[in-house]
Each structure stands twice: as structure tokens, then as C-alpha cells.
Structure 1
């Protein structure tokens, strides 16, 4: 899931913090929509103490901020006011996750790290398998391509939780941002995540707490079912040489809300590209 961001800053009233584990909590940005569900969850990670956010006048702990959200001044102010931001991490490039990064960096001076140099400022990009030590907590970075090529998940083993960005949403499924997003990569990512010990999912959209294994199993079953349905449709229409993605999307997603049609088309193209890669169709057209 991803949302496009306006070039103008969106100003909104901050919402309530949700505590998700001893070392994590999130504040949802005011950007609800078809692709963002209730909005983007901005996480803080650190030695948060018994009360979060801290009471007025109490010492503010050091925190790592994950996915500062869309361009929203009030949201950035609320996050910066809650703790001493020492590091900003990005799970991937979409603007509903990164739009506030420059603003929060300006407010706090904290470096920004994502998977690519383009996402990073004041520090090196993240590396697969890297242990990020900051704010008295260790986060284990995992490269998890599929939704986008630069998607990253972050494990906090001390709490048995994993921050999954859009790779594993809190409800529903995620889009594949073709051509950057890739179905084969996504299937591999889900299978690899299922191999990790039992962790609770802290997603960038939707409620937290689902078992990582169960969530990945659900998403894997969904994707494999959709591929099977697409194969059957292509065979039934004898359109398995070079089908039109646009025509298929119109017939499959005719009743899909307008706000999600572009994302549905991208995911469909990722499915068709997968069938090309494994030799089941020769190609497809737009």
C-alpha cells in the first residue's frame, strides 16, 4: 500500500499514541484512504519507560523513528516532542512513509537511513542483516523486496516484534508497485519471513499484533490463489500469448474503487510479468 503526497504540507491534529511492546509505540498520521487504511503508522523504538508518551516535565528518552509519515507538520511536531530523536529509519520509498523525513530531520538533526542512498541523509544506507544499535535498542534490518525493491523490515528481538512497513500489512493485502515491485521477490520474501521465530507484526498500515507466520501464510495463500485464478482466466479466454493488462484489469477490477484501480493494475502487471518469467506466457501489453 502507498499513497501519493501533495507538494503542500498537510497540517492536521495529532492522534493518540498506541503502545505495542515495551520498546515500541506508534502514532497514526492523519492520511486515511483506500491505500493507507486508517493512515500511516509512525513507530518509535527505544527505552520508552512505563508511560508513553512521557508525562509533561518528565525526561524524554532517546528514540528511533521508523516511517515518519506523509508531509504533515503537526504529525512531525508530535513525534519530535515525544522523545529525543536520534535516528530516522525508512521501510521503503513511498511518500506516505517518507514525506515527513526531511521535516523531522530538520527539527531534530537526526540522520535518515533507508535501503538506498537516495533515501538516506547524514548516514549510510541500511544493509541486509545489519544490527542497528540506537536508543538503547537493537534493530535487525532485513531486505524484503517485493512491494518495492527497496522494502526493509526491522526486527526488535528483545520484544519479539517486527516492523514490516507495507510488506506485511495489518489487514488486507499489499500492492506490488510494478515494475519496481516484483511478485517472485515478494513470494520469496514471505517464505523467508515465515522462517523467523514467532514474532508479532507491527505494520505501517492497520492494526498491530498478528503473528508473522500466520500473516505471511495468509498473504502467500492469497498471492498463489490470485495467480491460479489469472492462469484459469487466460486459458478460458485463449488469451495466454500476449494479453492486455488494461483489458484484464477492466474485467477483473471493474467494481474496484477508483482510488485503488491504479494499484490493482500495477499488481496485475506484476502477476503477468511473473508468468512471463516462468515461461507460461510470451508477454503482455499495457
Structure 2
């Protein structure tokens, strides 16, 4: 979900399938909506000339899309060797089981219910396929099982729904928690400061070339929204719906039900920290 029109100083831009970095290619799923922006970005990541590829977030259960992902990898001379999931929401993971059948690959995810094969994913894991290195970065908050993948060779991070290419993401309460999400954003900021990450390869929306600026904006945006929610409560709002009507008045009303998830997470956070009763 996006609750801001665009990131400051960044054009909306068209989201298209194709190469984004030396190792990452996007195949855009045909599932555009208010919640998914232009659609889900399915990422094919491969070390040049290795002949092997990793697919991150096969997307919805759409046979045409899954075949296009396979064909795109094969046209570059790569066999899909592994499937990874950033989290379990259907627009990212629904097609994973079928894609695994088509490619004969395992599916690795943080949530055991989403895995196909013996291996999961955990903090500190390094996934290596054909010389490619992806470092697993736990980023709970949007959901409890959210992960990002650091691609050091391209100074990039694949963020799923933790950071979007346009607007900001929902904290999907009660599974998603704001405190976890803020910690995850700080973890991503450390990647930009300490590990040289420059490029965000998001789960929705265009590629972003100023990773540090984007994460700083997300942190500032969350702080602003939190202050607005606290003020709304002080002014008599008692439910998430009432808060959304006041704080998210500039957001498309079709997104208000999803905005209530984020507000519920914010209210929980404020109560936990003793800032509201």
C-alpha cells in the first residue's frame, strides 16, 4: 500500500520489465492495483555468464507470468536454480509452488509454511548460486516474515514490500508491528552507510538510485505520521477509522481500509511507549 503520491525529488516513472543492474532483471506481473501499484516486480538475479539464476518473488498464480519469468531467464542463458520469497503475501508468493513445479526448484522463505524443500532462510544466511551472493537481511514490520536480500556485487538491496519504488508501505497489523518496522528501516540505513548500498530494487514500483535518501525519507515519514496519529488521539479520535479519516484525508479512500492496519500498528506502538492511554 502507498499512502504518499511519490518519494520527494523522484519522478513517478514507468515500471517496465528488463535489466535494472548488471545482475538483476525485472519481470513485471500483470496484477496492477491500488495496493500493488504497477504490479509485482519478480526479480531474476544471476551472476553474468554463470548459467544459473535465482528468482525472487514469483508473484501471483498467473501461468503467463510464470512462463514469462522462465523464458526471460532462459533467453539470457540461465536456468532457474532457486526460488526465494521476501514474504508470504499472495501478490509475491501465491505462484511460488507452481513456479517450483515448472522449474524443479526449491522455495526458500522465512515462514516454514511457504517453503518447498529442506532449507529455510534466516538472519545472516548467505545464498550462493553460480557465484552469485545474496545476503539475507531480516526486515520484519510490513509482515512478521519480511526479508530483504542484499546484493553486494551491485551495491543493491531487494526490498520486497519493506521499501517501495513509489509511496510508502503499509504496516499490516496485527502481523506487522511498527517498532519492528522502524528497526528494519534503521537496519537498511546501516546497509547504505556501512555497506555501500546505493540502489533499491523494490517489490513494487520503479528502481530507486538513492537508497540512503529513500530510507531517510521513510523514517521521517513514519515519524510525521506517528505524531499526527498522537495528535488525532489527543483531539478525541478513539478508533483507527476515526484516525484515518483525520490523518489520511489526502489518501484515496479506496486505501483507507489498508491505512487502518498502519494506524492500528501506530496506536499499539504509542500505547506500548506510554504516549497515549
Q: Do these two structures clear the TM 0.5 threshold for a shared fold by scoring above it? A: yes
- The corresponding residue for 1:190 is 185
The 3 A distance-change label for structure 1 pair 17 and 256 is: closer
Between the aligned partners of 2:243 and 2:172, the Cα distance in structure 1 is: 17
> Which residue, out of 163, 166, 170, partners 1:171?
166
> Which residue, out of 239, 261, 269, partners 2:264?
269
The 3 A distance-change label for structure 1 pair 113 and 17 is: same
- The corresponding residue for 1:45 is 45
> Which residue, out of 60, 77, 80, partners 1:70?
60
- The corresponding residue for 2:275 is 280
Task: Show CA shifts across 1:166-186 (max 9, x none).
Answer: 101111100000001111111
**Which protein is bigger by CA-based radius of gyration?**
1
TM-score, with structure 2 as normaliser? 0.87
Tell me, yes or no, if the aligned pair for 1:29 and 1:40 is still in contact at 8 Å.
yes
- The corresponding residue for 2:12 is none
> Which residue, out of 150, 153, 171, partners 2:148?
153
Between the aligned partners of 1:267 and 1:63, the Cα distance in structure 2 is: 35
**Gaps spanning 5+ residues in structure 1: where?**
3-14, 50-59
Between the aligned partners of 1:124 and 1:61, the Cα distance in structure 2 is: 22
Measure how far apart 1:255 and its partner are.
Answer: 6.0
Between the aligned partners of 1:210 and 1:229, the Cα distance in structure 2 is: 29
Tell me, yes or no, if the aligned pair for 1:170 and 1:210 is still in contact at 8 Å.
no
- Give the secondary-structure state (helix, strand or coil) at the position aligned to 2:18: strand
Tell me, yes or no, if the aligned pair for 1:198 and 1:212 is still in contact at 8 Å.
no
Tell me, yes or no, if the aligned pair for 1:35 and 1:260 is still in contact at 8 Å.
yes
Tell me, yes or no, if the aligned pair for 1:112 and 1:123 is still in contact at 8 Å.
no
Between the aligned partners of 1:26 and 1:228, the Cα distance in structure 2 is: 36
Between the aligned partners of 1:255 and 1:22, the Cα distance in structure 2 is: 38
Tell me, yes or no, if the aligned pair for 1:117 and 1:124 is still in contact at 8 Å.
no
Tell me, yes or no, if the aligned pair for 1:152 and 1:164 is still in contact at 8 Å.
yes
- The corresponding residue for 1:219 is 218
- Give the secondary-structure state (helix, strand or coil) at the position aligned to 1:154: strand
Between the aligned partners of 1:256 and 1:214, the Cα distance in structure 2 is: 23
Between the aligned partners of 1:73 and 1:124, the Cα distance in structure 2 is: 26
Between the aligned partners of 1:48 and 1:76, the Cα distance in structure 2 is: 22
Larger relative contact order (CA 8 Å, sep ≥ 6):
2
- Give the secondary-structure state (helix, strand or coil) at the position aligned to 1:188: helix
Q: Note if 1:80 corresponds to 2:70.
A: yes
**Gaps spanning 5+ residues in structure 2: where?**
3-14
Q: Note if 1:112 corresponds to 2:107.
A: yes
Measure how far apart 1:250 and its partner are.
Answer: 3.3
- Give the secondary-structure state (helix, strand or coil) at the position aligned to 1:195: helix
Between the aligned partners of 1:255 and 1:139, the Cα distance in structure 2 is: 38
Aligned length in residues: 256
Measure how far apart 1:65 and its partner are.
Answer: 0.1
- The corresponding residue for 1:209 is 208
Between the aligned partners of 2:16 and 2:224, the Cα distance in structure 1 is: 37
Task: Show CA shifts across 1:129-165 (max 9, x none).
Answer: 1110113201000110111111000011111111000
The 3 A distance-change label for structure 1 pair 102 and 258 is: farther
